[in-house]
Chains A and B, each alone.
Chain A
Amino acid sequence: MKCRDFDGRLCDYLDDTLSREARSEMDGHRLDCSACTTALEEADFARALLSAQPQLDPPPELIADIIHDTIGVGSGLALQPAGGPAEGGFMGWLKPIFHPLLQPRFVMGMAMTALSASMMGYYGQRTVEQWREAGTTPAAVAASVQESAGDAWAETVAAYEEAVAFYQLQTEGMDE
């Protein structure tokens, strides 16, 4: 047996998967070759040390982070169906369709729109019925908003003028 053949069978020798003949052939070579004996001892030493190492468990939060980064809320990623309905019946089929619309940024946008509309209604001092009476065409809404804005402006100017008059009265009293 040549050293090269010995090296080629070293892994199998250490795994104890060689036939009895092949194993005794290697043992015979070891008696005549100190370099191959050293090679075997070194490989066996490292293998034993490595095999004694415990399996490493990932930190518990790592799996949660991976799930969050891939399919979690706000990840912006979604598992792509490869044709056919997704599992979970009809709702499961609908879910991927509406998934983009149910992203937090869209939901927040819709909420802000509703809030703006309600604020406009409140500060314009108009009820839904009044808005409805004024009409729902873009021109009617624009005219109504303009009118509301005019009213709000007039109220602000009046409040400012009252404040100025009050300030003047106060300062005149102090001068005397």
Chain B
Amino acid sequence: MDADAELVDRCLRGSEGAWEQLVKAHSRLVYGACYRFTGRADQARDLTQDVFLRVFRSLHTYRSESGAFKTWLVRLTRNLLIDHYRKNKKEQKVDSIEDQAWGLEETSGIGGQADRTLRSREAGELLQSGLSQLSPELREAVILRDLQEMEYKEIASALAVPEGTVKSRINRGRRELARRLTALGVTR
């Protein structure tokens, strides 16, 4: 039994300390995924709370023999993010356009500089803006691989698709993101 499965087992036997440990061990993963997916700290915060509340209520349904806890958690997070995306689709479209406009304004201001490499904070914001414009399928695959550093097998299990599909989505997501960032003035 791995460390997470052991913690889950202790949680189910009523240990509040084990639950606290489990939250601390995985809050970074969940918050990171939520922030990268939504691009907003307030939403990431609320979603992370929702994820753990859902985990807490459905912890008894987790079976360690069916896979790692991390995969189960990512699947649950992903489902919640997709629900959130569907609910806020219209709002997000407006945000994306605003983000893009903001990005163009920002980059045009420094466009004349010899070195077009953006400062790290600006690059991070533009990257986030570019990510927000990807379809949820491509976005989640890229986030889980390149930002959360998950294995292809884990991603495939969390998204319930074959490994080949995961790789194909990652390729498409990376290429689309690169094209969007280039259009916004980000270069190597």
Enumerate chain A interface residues (CB-CB to B < 8 A): 7-8, 10-12, 39, 41-43, 45-51, 53, 55-59, 62-63, 65-67, 69-71, 77, 79-82, 84, 86-87, 92, 95-96
Q: Decide yes or no whether B108 CB sits under 8 A from chain A.
A: no
- Extra 11 A-B pairs, beta carbons < 8 Å, given A50-B127, A79-B16: A8-B164, A43-B171, A43-B178, A45-B188, A49-B186, A50-B174, A51-B146, A56-B31, A63-B23, A77-B57, A95-B14
Enumerate chain B interface residues (CB-CB to A < 8 A): 10-16, 19-20, 23-24, 27-28, 30-32, 35-36, 41, 45, 48-49, 52-53, 56-57, 59-60, 123-124, 127, 142, 146-147, 152, 164, 167-168, 170-171, 173-175, 177-179, 181-182, 186, 188
CB distance from B156 to the nearest CB of A (A): 12
Contacts of A46 in B (CB 8 A): 142, 146, 173-175, 177-178, 181
Query: Chain A binding site: helix, strand, loop or mixed by DSSP?
Result: helix
- Are A42 and B27 in contact, CB atoms less than 8 angstroms apart? no
- Are A42 and B178 in contact, CB atoms less than 8 angstroms apart? yes
Contacts of B19 in A (CB 8 A): 67, 70-71, 79
- Bound-complex Cα distance A45 to B183 (A): 13
Closest 10 CB pairs of A and B: A86-B14, A50-B146, A58-B31, A42-B178, A46-B174, A46-B178, A43-B174, A82-B12, A42-B175, A11-B167
- Are A81 and B45 in contact, CB atoms less than 8 angstroms apart? no
- Complex partner residue of B168 from A8, A62, A77, A84, CB under 8 angstroms: A8
Contacts of B24 in A (CB 8 A): 63
- Complex partner residue of A58 from B48, B123, B124, B182, CB under 8 angstroms: B48
Contacts of B167 in A (CB 8 A): 8, 10-12
With known contacts A67-B20, A79-B12, A55–B28 Cβ distance under 8 A: yes
- Bound-complex Cα distance A46 to B32 (A): 18
Q: Which among B123, B142, B147, B173 has the highest number of chain A CB atoms within 10 Å?
A: B147
Q: Which among B53, B147, B171, B188 has the highest number of chain A CB atoms within 10 Å?
A: B171
Contacts of A79 in B (CB 8 A): 11-12, 14-16, 19, 56, 59
| B163 (CB) vs chain A CBs: closest residue | A11
Contacts of B60 in A (CB 8 A): 80, 82
CB distance from A15 to the nearest CB of B (A): 9
- Bound-complex Cα distance A46 to B145 (A): 12
